[in-house]
Amino acid sequence: MVISLLLGVFAVLPIPVSAEEAVTFTDEQGLTYTVNEEDNTTVSVTAFNNSTASVVIPEKAVKGDVSYTVNAIDGNVFESNTIIESVEIPGTVTKISGGSFIDCSGLTSVKLCEGITTIDLSAFLRCKSLESIIFPKSMKLIAMNAFMDCTSLRSIEFNSDLELKAWSFKNCTSLEKVICYASNTNFNINAFLDIDTSIFTIYGYEGSKAEEFAKSKGYKFEVLSADTTVLNKLLEEAKSKSEIMFTEDSYKVLAGAIEKAENILKQEKPIKSEIEECVKELSDAIINLVSDNIKDGCIWQTINVGKEIEITGLVSQTGGTLTIPSEIKGLPVTSIGEESIYNVNYEEIKIADSVKVIKKHAFFQSAYLWKLKFSENSLLTTIEDGAFSVNDEVTWDKMTEIELPASLKTIGDKVFYERKNLDKVTIKSKDVVFGKDVFEGNNNVTLKGYENSTAQAYANANGHKFSYIGLDLTELKELLAQADAISPKSDALSAAIRAANILIAQIEIKGEGSPTDIANCIKSLKEAMETADDTTPQTEPTTSSTEPTTEPDISHLGDADGDGEVTVKDVTYIQLYLANLLSEDSIDLSVCDVDNDGEINVKDATYIQLRLANLL
């Protein structure tokens, strides 16, 4: 029930175009494209406005003399379109975004080209006329609810070891057959919930995960008839296995089976018994591969044609500190996969500098995680939708603050959804693009970033508090020390000194203030000092009948803020108290009468300043 509600909350939304001047154009089919500003070489399909029944999304979209690669469907572009009957999606679009074709009730045919890897949440939800679908060999993931309520769907063909999430084909009541040309397809136990089991059959290799899944659910299972088509598909699957992910001995057996299959397929008329024997041998070799894809507690896989590593899970769900490795078997770890660190109970996780992408819901429901650490050299560019989200029933969320690196360029939708205890998010990037409702469910978060950054703009637009990174008080404090040494002081100089002390206290104690405030304060001090009558430094306080004639002992007095040290902050505390800007319960009055004259006044603050400046 909780997860169902959560899926409603995470209804797929388009990532907004952040810049007002974003380039868009429309082709003759009625497809509108938006140029992706990060590279200016690719476009996303962002709208469709036509009555055509057949849509072919091209690999390239042309505007004038410029050709762009189409690499995304950006949100619910075709939602509730009852006219579309068929659609072809090119392999340049690696991911079909959530909700892209939701409620397209007239859609009967979908062609998915080689290159597509992911079908996201609810992408084809309630496409009630869709009859069959063939998934390409490149397919890796079919997300939750992707084809739920496709009540006319009769036939499905899988051609790779992909992962089916819960409810991916829920309530597909007409589904008759699932053909699985893969040995290790990962079926969620509820992938085919609420189907008609009397007409439903899974076809696959003997001993495969498809057979194991079918038997565990009580579904009918048929072994695929061994012919050259089956052998060819199995051979393609075998060749897709990355050698570095498995032990040397188990991969050696697979390599032998691959060689045998290739030799049989070279024959003009291969013998049926030899094909059957080879199919069995090759299937067994795939199934019996021994994984060697665990490193430092992380489960991983190769991506990007075997050139990079993605973290897909953890060996243990609990522990103290976990460090994501930067390299595995000579390849860089560049991404943390979807739901890979789901519901873990680690106190701290350190992210390797090499990680560029944190994928959707990667840390979903990891409420016990209180510290996530990125270094100054992090290459992280993208945090996808819901990456650090929890559901709205979580009451034990321990994450209170997080610091995101300067390399970050994109924060997706609802990334910190329902992180109610998240007080401070430091964003070191000046130009990160924010998705929708990034902090939904949290009204108390403070964003910390640079002046005039996109973080400041987002905070202002969404009613979040904002504080500044890089408030340098060095010049102000040096100028203040010079001003304090001037005697006698004009009214203007005294006022400027008081304003400077108050600003320093606000920044150091409350985190309030901006670079502009500091600049204005410096300007006021300089102007007041230039007009002062006497700029001779005061080397010792003037004595009077009410002032001590000997140096007061402040070794144990003056700790107004109660931190165990006497510093400039204690001076500021006393000044704020005298200016009625701090209440009595915010300051330790018992140690504030530094000169022991029976009163707490500006002279006590002065004595502390002089002592700290080594003038007493």
Q: How confident is the model at residue 12 (pLDDT cuts 50, 70, 90)?
A: very low
Candidate from 69-83, 456-470, 541-555, 574-588 with smallest mean pLDDT: 541-555
pTM: 0.56
177/218 same-domain check: yes
CB atoms within 10 A of CB 268: 4
CB neighbourhood size of 173 (10 A): 15
Tell me if 123 sits within 8 A of 117, measured CB to CB: no
- Residue 16 pLDDT level (bands cut at 50, 70, 90): very low
Q: pLDDT at position 343, please?
A: 83
549 and 532 in a common domain: yes
Preceding omega of 488 cis (within 30 degrees of 0): yes
Kindly give the pairing relationship between strand 298-303 and strand 294-295.
Answer: antiparallel
CB 521 within 8 A of CB 475: no
Q: Which residues pair with 133 in a beta bridge?
A: 156
pLDDT higher than 60, residue 555 = no
Q: How far is CA 185 from CA 161, 189, 257, 472, 544, in A?
A: 4, 12, 20, 56, 90
Q: How many CB atoms lie within 10 A of CB 260?
A: 17
Average pLDDT of span 29-50: 90
Are both 90 and 209 inside the same structural domain?
yes
551 pLDDT more than 80: no
CA angle 173, 176, 182 (to 5 degrees): 120
Instruction: Say yes or no: 265 and 405 in one domain.
Output: no
Annotate 59-84 with three-state secondary structure.
Answer: CEEEECCEEEEEEEECCCCCCCCCCC
Which range (280-284, 394-398, 549-553) has the least confidence? 549-553
Q: Are residues 169 and 31 in the same domain?
A: yes
Domain check: are 507 and 603 in the same one? yes
Range of the structural domain that residue 142 is part of: 2-224
**CA 294 – CA 311 distance, rounded (Å):** 9
**Confidence at residue 614, expressed as pLDDT on a 0 to 100 scale:** 65
- Host H or E run for residue 114: none
Residues 439 and 555 in one domain: no
Report the percent of the chain where pLDDT is more than 70.
91
Question: Of the ranges 243-247, 403-407, 552-556, which is most confident?
Answer: 403-407
Q: Within 13 Å and on the Cβ side, how many CA atoms surround 368?
A: 12
- Three-class SS of residue 336? strand
Compute the average pLDDT of residues 464-485. 87
Which residue type, as a one-letter code, is found at position 206? E
- pLDDT of 516 reads 83
Q: Are the CB atoms for 178 and 202 separated by under 8 Å?
A: yes
Lowest mean pLDDT among 43-57, 159-173, 469-483: 469-483
Question: 434, 468, 502: which is the final residue of a domain?
Answer: 468
pLDDT at 439 over 90: yes
Q: What is the mean pLDDT of residues 416-437?
A: 93
CATH number at residue 448: 3.80.10.10
82 and 211 both lie in a single domain: yes
Report the range out of 39-48, 253-262, 470-479, 595-604 with the highest average pLDDT. 253-262
CB 355 within 8 A of CB 379: yes
* 113 and 174 both lie in a single domain: yes
CA–CA dist 524, 546 (Å, integer): 32
- Count CA atoms closer than 13 A to 134's CA, side-chain side: 8
Distance CA 76, CA 405 (A): 30
* The predicted structure's pLDDT at residue 282: 94
User: Does 13 score more than 60 pLDDT?
Assistant: no
pLDDT per position as a tens digit, 147-197:
999 999 999 999 988 999 999 999 999 999 999 998 989 999 999 999 999
Checking if the pLDDT of 101 tops 80, the result is: yes
Q: Are residues 178 and 53 in the same domain?
A: yes
Question: Binning pLDDT at 50, 70 and 90, where does residue 56 land?
Answer: very high
Copy the structure tokens of residue 580.
């009625």
Average pLDDT of the chain? Answer: 86
75 vs 261, higher pLDDT:
261
Q: What would the DSSP string read from start to end of 398-425?
A: ---EEEE-TT--EE-TTTTTT-TT--EE
Residue 345 has pLDDT above 70, yes or no: yes
For the cut 90, the answer to whether the pLDDT of residue 569 exceeds it is no
Number of domain units in the chain: 4
What residues contact residue 540 under an 8 Å CB cut-off, 6+ apart?
610, 615, 616
Q: At what angle do helices 602-612 and 474-484 cross, to 10 degrees?
A: 110
- Same-domain status, 191 and 141: yes
Q: What is the pLDDT of residue 593?
A: 81
SS (H, E, C) 224-283: CCCCHHHHHHHHHHHHCCCHHHECHHHHHHHHHHHHHHHHHHHCCCCCHHHHHHHHHHHH
Residues 6+ apart with CB under 8 A from 210: 178, 180, 182, 183, 185, 187, 202, 203, 204, 221
Single residue among 441, 468, 495 that ends a domain in this structure = 468
pLDDT of the residue at 535: 45
| Range 302-329 average pLDDT | 90
Final residue before a domain boundary, out of 468, 497, 524 = 468
For 387-408, what is the mean pLDDT? 86
How far separated are the first and last CA of the chain, in Å rounded? 70
Residues 432 and 335 in one domain: yes
